[in-house]
A = this chain, B = another copy of it.
Amino acid sequence: MASNQLKLPTRRSDCPVACTMDLLGDKWTLLIIRDLVRGRHRYMELAQAEETIPTNLLSERLERLIECSLVERRLLLKGGKRTAYYLTDKGRSLTKVLGVIADWGLEHIEKTKLAPEILEMRARGEASKG
């Protein structure tokens, strides 16, 4: 496990919360991960999130997620040019973090609701609950 751990280029302390927030502590990164979890893999699909992420931020965040091995870019067809983005195993491990944050929001912030795809995934036991 240790050899497969992320090495952060810079860190503020050795606190695991601080280091995780060095990766995820912004308004967009977890929303990109949410959309990958719910099956949106093409750049244009990710750019169409209802929160309207600025495309320069989307590109920058995807590159950062690839750099730290949470996301990988794949060719859709061998020899083709069209690419799509997928969570790696390490990226998929964030599903639990996402689930706990979603549950906190549902309980504590008014008028929040889960996307239909996530509800279906939870019903099938595929999306982690907190």
Of the candidate stretches A55-63, A77-85, A90-98, the one touching chain B is A90-98
Contact of A17 among B1, B17, B30 (CB under 8 A): B30
B-contacting residues, A100-124, CB 8 Å: 100-115
- A130 near B: Cβ within 8 Å? yes
A108 touches B90 (CB 8 A): yes
What's the tally of chain A residues with a CB closer than 8 Å to chain B? 51
Binding site for B on A (CB under 8 A): 1-2, 5-8, 12-23, 25-28, 30-31, 34, 50-52, 90, 93-94, 96-98, 100-115, 130
Contact of A34 among B15, B34, B97, B98 (CB under 8 A): B15
